[in-house]
Chains A and B, each alone.
Chain A
Amino acid sequence: MTSHFLYLVIFAALVSAVFAALQRQEPREQVRFGLLLFGAFIASALVLGWLMLPLPIGGR
């Protein structure tokens, strides 16, 4: 089964974890920053997907 949304969520979670560990030093700050990034990833993907919904796909 192919779930594009699941791939997106896993990708967002892993990238957010790495950036949080890179950019913040304190554990509490890392968690906050990581969750913020994760939410931003998911929200922006949903908004962009919704905006692109009217566009034609594959010539249809």
Chain B
Amino acid sequence: MRTATADRSPALDRGTLWMLCVAAWLVPGSAHLWLRRTRAGLVFLVALPLMFAIGLALHGRLFPFEAGEPLALLAACADLGIGLPYFLAWLSGAGAGSVTAASYEYGNSYLIVAGLLNMLVVLDACDIALGRK
């Protein structure tokens, strides 16, 4: 069983592994597509940016990196987990958040969970690349 799994995963050197992890972080699902896990890659490629976009549409906030507010700092780290969509939203001025909106907390939940899920996806891609899965 392990041999069959390892056969599906190409042997990667350290540099390629780092590139794979960075790609997995920047574009959700890209590493799974790279590793020929097409179905899972497509699910991540669609679901995670969609969650992030819905979070922005629901007036969620991209939290700032402020050391004085530990919880906001953790939320900011989670937001950053989504990769490229975070920077695109930041550059376009989205994610200011509207505390008075009824959907504000929903938006924050969508944004934070999308980032955290993408971190799990990065770890999963690493495991596949290393032949652990």
B34 at the interface (CB under 8 A from A): no
Q: Quick one: closest A residue to B50, CB to CB?
A: A14
Closest A residue to B113 by beta carbon equals A15
Interface bin, chain B: 20 to 34
Closest to B133 in A: A25
- B102: chain A residues at CB < 8 Å are 2
Looking at chain A's contact residues, the main secondary structure is helix
Per-residue B-contact encoding for A12-28, CB less than 8 Å = 1, 0 else: 00110110111000010
Within B62-97, which residues are at the interface with A (CB < 8 Å)? Answer: none
Chain A, range 17-44, C-beta contacts under 8 Å to B: 17-18, 20-22, 27, 30
Q: How many A-B residue pairs have CB under 8 A?
A: 38
**Is the beta-carbon distance between A22 and B51 smaller than 8 angstroms?**
no
CB pair A7–B121 under 8 Å, yes or no, is no
Q: Which residues of the partner chain A approach B54 to less than 8 Å between Cβ atoms? A: 10
B109 touches A18 (CB 8 A): no
Q: 9 interchain pairs (CB within 8 A)?
A: A2-B102, A7-B103, A7-B106, A10-B54, A11-B113, A18-B43, A18-B47, A22-B124, A30-B39
- A60 lies within 8 A of chain B by Cβ: no
Q: Which residues of B contact A21 (CB under 8 A)?
A: 39-40, 43-44
A14→B12 CA distance, assembly (Å): 31
The answer to whether A18 touches B44, judged by C-beta atoms less than 8 angstroms apart, is yes
From A4, A14, A27, A30, give the contact of B106 (CB < 8 A). Answer: A4
